[in-house]
Amino acid sequence: MKKVITFGELMLRLAPAGYTRFVQADSFGATYGGGEANVAVSLANYGHDAHFVSKLPAHEIGQAALNSLRKYGVNTSDIVRGGERVGIYYLEKGASQRPSKVIYDRKDSAIAKASPEDFDWDQILDGAEWFHTTGITPALNDEVAAITLEAMKKCHEKGIPVSCDLNYRNKLWSKEKANKVMSELAKYIDVCIANEEDAKDVFGIEATNTDIHGGQINHEGYKDVAKQLMDTFGFQKVAITLRESISANRNLWSAMLYDGNEYCFSKKYDLNIVDRVGGGDSFGGGLIHALMEGKNSHDAIEFAVAASALKHSVEGDYNLVSVDEVEKLAQGDGSGRVQR
């Protein structure tokens, strides 16, 4: 059990039931999620003292967001209460050839309007053994980017490992802006997580000869990207998730971890998707756990991919699986036979 700090935004997710389209919905499932909070839930499920740091309004919707984390054991004592609104994202689940659709309504959320004084990083980071955030957080605005930078610098000073999932969101910032901000943050990042498009969007580093829409995975290309990332920014580890999208219901899913030494490719899972959102975050959660536990790169990437494979079968953003469940799948039982 280790103390881990994640920092970012927790949003209200409003999703029509099943495969109902937005225009058909007369109710929305109301759950909560966000890249960093999702990682915190994963880590709490794996038995860690996972803290989520953010700002949420004092009203009942803010409270409900916070409660959704407490329920799964996340420590919420560092969440500042204030501001006016909980950011929202509307999610319509796709099927077959129809893609899932996300509409963001997250502007001016409490965390987006937070100020540096809201967070006392020395106190928050006291005793922490890991810090995690994603590229979404500094994308909110310059103020939040500055807060993120401050936190990372403190980690660096204190020797707390920092992981960051690049998670480029083009609705939040331009590639140019992302490049500029993330390049500065990158100096303090130890473990860089990205999918096949992030490296290109954020840093202009491309996986050569890889056609992600066609579902072809080019191992050499990914190695090249990982190496470039490490060489450019000095990351200690680079993890890349590899999604091959056959349809909205079916994806192939694997990943690679480069530790400066070896390029470890995981096995590939054929996923029948229940809920794809949070898939990348569950990979991050799994990877952080595996690295904190001292697994070698091979075992770490298998744990992280198995964790995220399971996530695709779980409704909501949060990956509600245990270490045992992940280990069992990582070690080879993907038959889905009933556990009595």
Task: Report the nearest approach of a copy of itself to the CB of residue 223 (Å).
Answer: 23
Q: What is the DSSP letter of 208?
A: T
Chosen residue from 28, 153, 228, 295 binding a copy of itself by CB under 8 A: 28
Q: Which of 42, 73, 38 is nearest to 54 (CA)?
A: 38
Handedness of CA 149, 44, 302, 291 (dihedral sign): positive
* Helix, strand, or coil (residue 207): coil
Is residue 258 within 8 Å of 219, Cβ to Cβ? Answer: no
Q: How many residues bind a copy of itself (CB under 8 A)?
A: 86
Tokens of 195: 């999918």
Q: Which of the stretches 12-20, 140-148, 231-239, 292-300 binds a copy of itself when contact is defined by CB under 8 A?
A: 12-20
Told to check if 267 binds a copy of itself by CB under 8 A, we report no
Q: What is the DSSP letter of 84?
A: S
Told to check if 95 binds a copy of itself by CB under 8 A, we report yes
Told to check if 331 binds a copy of itself by CB under 8 A, we report no
Strands 250-258 and 269-272: antiparallel
The C-alpha torsion from 101 through 143 and 152 to 76, rounded to 10°, is -70
Is residue 8 within 8 Å of 111, Cβ to Cβ? Answer: yes
77 vs 261, which CB is nearer to a copy of itself?
A: 77
Helix H, strand E, coil C: the string for 165-233 is ECCCCCCCCCHHHHHHHHHHHHCCCCEEEEECCHHHHHHCCCCCCCCCCCCCCCHHHHHHHHHHHHHHH
The interface with a copy of itself within residues 271-300 (CB under 8 A) comprises 271-274, 276-277
Told to check if 339 binds a copy of itself by CB under 8 A, we report yes
Task: Report the nearest approach of a copy of itself to the CB of residue 114 (Å).
Answer: 17
30 vs 149, which CB is nearer to a copy of itself?
A: 30
Told to check if 236 binds a copy of itself by CB under 8 A, we report no
309-328 footprint of a copy of itself as x/- string (CB under 8 A): xx-xxxxx---xx---x---
Chosen residue from 3, 153, 228, 334 binding a copy of itself by CB under 8 A: 334
The interface with a copy of itself within residues 176-235 (CB under 8 A) comprises 213, 215
The C-alpha torsion from 47 through 253 and 310 to 277, rounded to 10°, is 90
Told to check if 100 binds a copy of itself by CB under 8 A, we report yes
Task: Report the nearest approach of a copy of itself to the CB of residue 260 (Å).
Answer: 30
Q: DSSP alpha helices (H): ranges in 258-330?
A: 279-292, 297-311, 323-330
Chosen residue from 250, 262, 296, 331 binding a copy of itself by CB under 8 A: 250
Residue 102 and residue 242: Cα distance in Å, rounded? 21
Residue 291 and residue 297: Cα distance in Å, rounded? 8
Told to check if 113 binds a copy of itself by CB under 8 A, we report no
Told to check if 31 binds a copy of itself by CB under 8 A, we report yes
The interface with a copy of itself within residues 35-94 (CB under 8 A) comprises 59-61, 63-64, 67-68, 70-73, 84-86, 88, 90, 92, 94
Give the type of residue at 328. K
Task: Report the nearest approach of a copy of itself to the CB of residue 92 (Å).
Answer: 7
Tokens of 226: 């990982």
Q: What is the DSSP letter of 116?
A: G
Residue appearing with tokens 């809201």: 118
Task: Report the nearest approach of a copy of itself to the CB of residue 154 (Å).
Answer: 28
Chosen residue from 1, 47, 104, 142 binding a copy of itself by CB under 8 A: 104
The interface with a copy of itself within residues 144-173 (CB under 8 A) comprises 169-171
